[in-house]
Amino acid sequence: MRSTKKTTIASLAVMVSGALLLSSCGSSDAGSSEASESSAGGEGKTVLTVSLFGTMGFEESGLFDEYEKQNPNIDIKYESTQGETKYWPALQTKLQSGTGLADIQGIEVARIADVVANQSDKWTDLSQFVTKEQVPNYLEWKAEAATTEDGKVLALGTDIGPMGICYRSDLLEQAGLPTDPAELAAKMPDWDAYLELGRQYKANAPAGSAWTDFGGGLYNAIVSTEETIYYDESGEPVWDSNPAVKEAFDTAAEAGQEGLTAKLEQFNDPNWEPAFANGGFATIACPSWMIGYIKGKAGDAGAGKWNVTSLPGGAGGNWGGSYLAIPEASENKEEAAKLIKWMTDAEQQATVFNNVGNFPSNKEGIALVGDTTDEYFQNAPIGKVFSESAEAAPTQILGEGDGVIKTALTNALLSVEANGVAPADAWENAKAEISNQLG
């Protein structure tokens, strides 16, 4: 009796441990069946997953709902990561493993050269789908930047980043500065004049309010008006010897050293967003996509307090902007390509601009938004401001390491304004960091 009982217990134990083993090995199966389930969806619907960063405006403008209404067989699942510097590494991990990718992923313009040069095998060539018709509609540089040498179109453009200066007219008024966009623009023939206005502001400003948010933001705005930035046309890095980069860096460092900045690292400092509402800074270099940020973070209380004017000297430029692409691992490429085409059509881009300010990259879309004014910004003619900036913008040369270099220099500027590092030392630190990363 005893021995049989023992045997039963032992065999039970073997069975249990075996089952444990099976279940632990089988978990990968469970994962993949889940994935195929989600792509099949309930009631025969196709589920398209969309993963973006920041406020790209599609969800905010209700476009996903509209597309689902027009295409009852499609179910869109959307998610967004706040900061691009957090979104990108996560996306790279997923690309590496080939799992967890959405059908549609956003790509920031500073990463597109890297994608085209090094990851063309991980993204779908969109020219094989309907999207080929879309390409001629884009601003030439926007489409070219996402096309490989052998003609693969890896991504379609959503928005571009023409720039202006956004400002709190109530704060400027308190400091005795002009609040009318045209008057303010007349006082700013160049960036030095912008800093000079900042000094005047600082002398009369309400306590706890700085002229601008962050030296890194100022730097990005200045450098984004240039044609050659970090790389030359042959693809060689020239940022170190490019006087335009150094000048922009020095100007921003000067602003930081003089205390004209609020020392709030954009997107990463938890106090950056509240400062839109509580008047922590009076002006911010304002790519069109910043419009949506301001509305979101300053909220209803900020309505009618903000305004927009053109960059110092009426310069044109481009800071940021994005693309949409389909990972090679996607199982719904055709449907995803249709959705991308629709999302980047002129009408949808115009809708996004009118709602959150992301400026169209589609030529017809640009024509549609020329007369847009924005109630939130005291009826400022944002369509006109950003169209002019886009028109005057030089065609920028993009390079593989744009994102890395930009991040390192921005970080160096934070160390100048927040930690009192000498600009020359900060520049050297950034240089070491960049050569460490780019080899």
Partner 1 sequence: MTLSSTTAPPAPTDRPPRVVVTEKPTWKQRLFRAEEKGAPYAYIAPFFVLFIIFGLFPLVYTAWISLYSLKLGSSNAEWVGLENYVWLFENPKFYNALWKTLTIGVLATVPQLMFAIGLAHLLNYRMRGRNFFRVSMIMPYATSVAAATLVFGQIFGGGSGFANWVLSFVGIDAIDWRNGDWTAQIAIAVIVTWRWTGYNALIYLAGMQSISQDLYESAALDGANRWQQFRHITLPGLRPTILFTVVVSTIGATQLFAEPLLFGGGTANGGALNQYQTITLFMYQQGWTFGFLGRAAAIAWVTFMLIIGLVLLNTWIARRRDRDPMETAAKKARKVAAKGARR
Instruction: Tell me: does residue 424 bind partner 1 (CB under 8 A).
Output: no
- The site map against partner 1 for 227-266 (x = CB under 8 A) is ------------------------------------xxx-
Q: Considering only residues 186-225, where is the footprint of partner 1 by CB under 8 A?
A: 208
Q: Out of 38, 39, 80, 92, point to the residue binding partner 1 (CB under 8 A).
A: 92
Q: How many residues does the chain have?
A: 439
| 231: amino acid identity, one letter | Y
Q: Which is nearer to partner 1, 66 or 273 (CB)?
A: 273
By CB under 8 A, which span of 91-99, 182-190, 308-316, 387-395 interacts with partner 1? 91-99
User: Pairing between strand 46-53 and 104-108?
Assistant: parallel
Q: How many helices (H) and strands (E) does the chain have?
A: 18, 10
Q: Shortest approach of partner 1 to residue 96 CB, angstroms?
A: 6
The gap from C-alpha 230 to its chain's centroid, in whole angstroms, comes to 18
Choose which of 66, 232, 240, 269 interacts with partner 1 (CB under 8 A): 269
Cβ-based nearer residue to partner 1, 92 or 228: 92
Assess 141 for contact with partner 1 (CB under 8 A).
no
What angle, rounded to 10 degrees, do the helices at 402-419 and 215-223 form? 140
Under the criterion CB under 8 A, does residue 148 sit at the interface with partner 1? Answer: no
Stretch that binds partner 1, among 2-10, 44-52, 245-253, 305-313 (CB under 8 A): 2-10
**Burial call 73-88: b when 16+ CB within 10 Å, e when fewer:** ebbbeeebbeebbebb
Site residues for partner 1, 277-306, by CB under 8 A, read 278, 280
In the complex, what is the shortest distance from the CB of residue 321 to partner 1, in angstroms, rounded to a whole number?
Answer: 22
Query: Does 435 sit near partner 1 (CB under 8 A)?
Result: no
Neighbours of 372 (CB within 10 A): 19
Nearest approach, Cβ of residue 419 and partner 1 (Å): 5
CA atoms within 13 A on the CB side of 180: 3
Q: Nearest-5° angle of CA 321, CA 324, CA 327? A: 140
Q: Is the dihedral of CA 66, 67, 71, 73 positive or negative?
A: negative
Annotate each residue in 390-419 with x if it binds partner 1 (CB under 8 A) or - if it does not, as one string. Answer: --------------x------xx-xx--xx
| DSSP string over 209-263 | -EEES-HHHHHHHHHTT-SSSSB-TTS-B-TTT-HHHHHHHHHHHHHHHTT-B--
* Residues in contact with partner 1, shown as a per-residue x/- string from 61 to 90 under the rule CB under 8 A: ---------------------xx-xx--xx
- Residue 116 engages partner 1 in binding (rule: CB under 8 A): no
Asked whether position 93 contacts partner 1 by CB under 8 A, the answer is yes
Minimum CB–partner distance for residue 216 and partner 1 (Å): 10
Rule CB under 8 A: choose which of 271, 373, 379, 395 binds partner 1.
Answer: 271
Q: Which of 270, 300, 301, 371 binds partner 1 (CB under 8 A)?
A: 270
The reply on whether position 119 binds partner 1 by CB under 8 A is yes
Q: Which stretch binds partner 1 (CB under 8 A): 166-174, 274-282, 321-329, 387-395?
A: 274-282
C-beta atoms surrounding 342 within 10 Å: 17
**Alpha-carbon separation of residue 289 from 93, 195, 312, 373, 378 (angstroms):** 27, 23, 19, 15, 18
Q: Compare residues 20 and 186 and give the one whose CB is closer to partner 1.
A: 20
Q: 165 — phi, psi (to 5°)?
A: -115, 120
User: Where do the H-state alpha helices sit in 344-381?
Assistant: 346-356, 363-369
C-alpha 301/C-alpha 239 separation (Å) is 41
Q: Reduce the DSSP state of residue 140 to 3 states and report it.
A: helix
**Interface with partner 1 (CB under 8 A):** 3, 7, 10-11, 13-14, 17, 20-21, 24, 82-83, 85-86, 89-90, 92-93, 95-96, 118-119, 122, 208, 263-265, 267-271, 274-275, 278, 280, 404, 411-412, 414-415, 418-419, 421, 436-437
